[in-house]
Structure 1
Amino acid sequence: MGIKALGYVRIATAKVEAWDHFMTQVVGTMRGQSPAPDVATYRIDDRPFRFWVEKADADRLLVAAYEVGDAAELADLRETIAGLGREIVDGDAAQAAARGVAAFFATSDPAGNGLEFFCGDTRDDVAFVSPAGVSGFVTGDMGMGHAVFATPNFEEAHSFYKAIGFADTDIPRFRFSDDPADPGMGFAFMHAANGRHHSVAIAEMPVPPSACIHLMLEMKTQSDVGKCHDRMRLNKVPESASIGRHVNDQTFGFYMQTPSGFDIEIGSDPLVIDPANWTPTAHLQPSEWGHVWAWQKALEEQKLEEQQGESA
């Protein structure tokens, strides 16, 4: 069956209280039970947690964890990844129980981005109640959302993800300037065995200290997204990109900065694909409209100041 979906993420932070406020009061997730000392968890559905946030001396995404069908598929994937030369650390029974899975192993992609793969996921009958009033998050067979990583060795990383079971959805090269000599930046948006447009994506750039570009969560309605945008503003969370709609996955949403420095995309109403019959695309721009990035705003403001200075 291949890789099913993104199951959970693990984050290290020196800003535990800031993360708790961000997750509950801004994003609107629900606190879960702590599986270990100095670990806080947050849920968005009937899984015991989707976010694992652990106390540390530095801030970074430790792991994006992906589910496979069963123990046999997990063993096959382990063999494939070992054959690609990546180091593997097998999880023990206690570690698996803390994660709410039957078995897992940890590894990394060729750029060093942390990954876990697991089987035997857990669900419960605890009702999701958002402390911020979010009507719900879209998960189910499509998993918790997606993760986007940076990789300077783009082709090697792209080949790795294809070899382990992800498939291409959209393979663009975006150009962020008007310079005709701009070579652009390679991206690979890749789907798992579900209808989400991409469960993982990689971008051709150096790996940031936070070890992540962004994570994405899908809310049930555009109203949920808009209210979250208001909470971002009222809580003075830095906006990374304004509300807009993407070309490739058609998601309506925005980006904001987490306490650990990477972004989280909050969206709704995306395109749902047929993973078995999808023909890869290569779009020329990331957004149909909106999504004005913070760096673009800064450049526009700088240019305006220069123009005003020249006319003074």
Structure 2
Amino acid sequence: MTVKALGYVIVTTEKMAEWDSYLADVVGVMRGEGAPEGTAFYRIDDRPFRFWVRPGNEERLAAAGYEVEDAAALDALKAAISAAGRPVEDGTAEEAKARGVAAFFRTSDPDGNGLEFFHGDTRDNVAFVSPAGVSGFVTGDMGMGHAVFAAPSFEATHAFYRDVVGFHDTDIPRFQLTGAEDDPGMGFAFMHAENGRHHSIAIGEMPIPPSGCVHLMLEMKTISDVGKCHDRMRAAKVPESASIGRHVNDQTFGFYMQTPSGFDLEIGCDPLVIDPESWEPTAHLVPSEWGHVWAWQKAMED
């Protein structure tokens, strides 16, 4: 089995208006058309939506939806996940139509993080126009970006994504985030799909947050786009989760800010593009080359 890319995400929230302003006015994504009544689509390219925001009684990333090659690949993956002891539920034809896919199923990893897998994606000829003036987002074969989940059962969840789902290891570090000599470190697994994005999914050895997600990442086309988004974040008084910096492993330049549902959104550009066929896994010692001072680090300093 092989996974092509991250296709879409589904968010449940009691803060529909906040999410609308956040995505359109701060991030600069485009409001989409055709969402089921009471819900909202947001697009960053020629897919009818990449964010589906729906009313719910939890502030949560309900699912990250990953694309596979075709119906046979979807059936094989569903069988493998079921054999691994994870629950699987086929989506109905109506649900698939709402997602703009031919077919999909729901499941979760060993730590309960919500996933959907699908085939038969949809594209249209609607031009992307950002209400905030973003020149564009980098998607195409690399998908919408990446999702990062918490995985307290780190070894089991890593094995699930690698051996059952079919993601491939890109960078397998153990970060000592506090800098203390007795820090045992925190395991991470950055994993790529069958495309050039350094990682389409990652997991960290940490407790599951109430939001069901650590962060999502969107790639903008230019440094100027990233900088202007940072200005919009500050003007809107959106909490900054990590200052501007550059990562070591994927070389992404960017920053992190909090979403209305509590998980973070990484806004970046200028990343490393890998060859998925020949890449040899690395194990970097620190997450950032420079910058990325986290809110919790600032709080400790204060």
Q: Same fold (TM over 0.5)?
A: yes
Q: Please report the TM-score for the alignment, with normalisation by the length of structure 1.
A: 0.96
In 1, distance between residues paired with 2:8 and 2:71?
A: 18
- How far did 1:179 drift? 2.3
Deviations 1:120-157 (CA, angstroms, capped at 9, x unpaired)? 00000000000000000000000000000001100000
Counterpart of 1:54, as a letter, is: R
Partner of 1:307: none
Matches within 5 A, 1:190-229: 190-229=191-230
In 1, distance between residues paired with 2:271 and 2:155?
A: 27
In 2, distance between residues paired with 1:244 and 1:29?
A: 22
- 2:277 is paired with a residue of what secondary structure? helix
Partner of 2:239: 238
Partner of 1:279: 280
For the pair 1:177 / 2:178, whether they are aligned, the reply is: yes
For the pair 1:79 / 2:82, whether they are aligned, the reply is: no
Partner of 2:110: 110
In 1, distance between residues paired with 2:9 and 2:219?
A: 15
Misfit runs of 4+, over 4 Å: none
- How far did 1:2 drift? 1.0
- How far did 1:259 drift? 0.1
In 1, distance between residues paired with 2:15 and 2:92?
A: 28
In 2, distance between residues paired with 1:13 and 1:157?
A: 26
In 1, distance between residues paired with 2:183 and 2:298?
A: 20
In 1, distance between residues paired with 2:207 and 2:177?
A: 16
- How far did 1:39 drift? 1.0
In 2, distance between residues paired with 1:34 and 1:86?
A: 32
Deviations 1:184-230 (CA, angstroms, capped at 9, x unpaired)? 00000000000000000000011000000000000000000000000
Counterpart of 2:262, as a letter, is: G
Give RMSD over aligned pairs: 0.7
Partner of 1:96: 96
Q: Please report the TM-score for the alignment, with normalisation by the length of structure 2.
A: 0.99
Counterpart of 1:220, as a letter, is: K
Aligned length: 301
Which residues of structure 2 form unaligned runs of 5+? none
- 1:215 is paired with a residue of what secondary structure? strand
Counterpart of 1:235, as a letter, is: A
Partner of 1:122: 122
Which residues of structure 1 form unaligned runs of 5+? 302-312
In 2, distance between residues paired with 1:284 and 1:219?
A: 26
In 1, distance between residues paired with 2:248 and 2:36?
A: 41
In 2, distance between residues paired with 1:142 and 1:177?
A: 33
Partner of 1:260: 261
Counterpart of 2:8, as a letter, is: Y
- 2:218 is paired with a residue of what secondary structure? strand
Partner of 1:292: 293
In 2, distance between residues paired with 1:178 and 1:266?
A: 26
Counterpart of 2:194, as a letter, is: A
- 2:77 is paired with a residue of what secondary structure? helix
In 2, distance between residues paired with 1:293 and 1:134?
A: 25
For the pair 1:144 / 2:141, whether they are aligned, the reply is: no
Counterpart of 2:268, as a letter, is: G
- How far did 1:35 drift? 2.5
For the pair 1:65 / 2:65, whether they are aligned, the reply is: yes
Find the structure with the greater CA-based Rg: 1
